[in-house]
Amino acid sequence: MEQEKLLSYKGRKSGRPLSKAKNEVLNKILKTNSVTADKINSNFFFNRSYYPLSLEIGSGSGEFIVSEAIKNPNKGFFAVEQYINGIASLSSKINQKNINNIKFFPGDVTKILYLLPQNIFDCIYLLFPDPWPKIKHHKRRIIQKEIIDIFSKLLINNGILWFVSDDKDYCRHTLLHFQKHPSFKWTAQRREDWLLKPKTWVDTRYEIKAKKRGISPIFLKFIKSKPL
Average pLDDT, the chain: 91
- Domain of 143 in residue numbering reads as 22-224
User: Please, which pLDDT band fits residue 44 given cuts at 50, 70 and 90?
Assistant: confident
Statement: residue 7 has pLDDT above 90:
no
Residue 11 lies in a domain: no
Residue 35 lies in a domain: yes
Residue-wise pLDDT tens digits, 169-219: 999 999 999 999 999 999 999 999 999 999 999 999 999 999 999 999 999
Residue 168: which CATH number? 3.40.50.150
CA distances from 85 to 91, 177, 178 (A): 10, 31, 32
Q: Phi/psi of residue 103, each to 5°?
A: -125, 155
Task: Say how many Å lie between the first and final Cα of the chain, rounded.
Answer: 16
Residue 8 lies in a domain: no
Residue 145 lies in a domain: yes
Amino acid, res. 214: G
Residue 14 lies in a domain: no
pTM assigned to the model? 0.92
Instruction: Give catalytic residue positions.
Output: 130
Residue 140 lies in a domain: yes
Per-residue model confidence (pLDDT) at position 122: 98
Per-residue model confidence (pLDDT) at position 61: 93
CA distances from 202 to 34, 62, 136, 143, 164 (A): 24, 11, 34, 24, 13
Residue-wise pLDDT tens digits, 142-167: 999 999 999 999 999 999 999 999 99
Residue 2 lies in a domain: no
Per the structure, the count of domains in the chain is 1
Residue-wise pLDDT tens digits, 103-156: 999 999 999 999 999 999 999 999 999 999 999 999 999 999 999 999 999 999
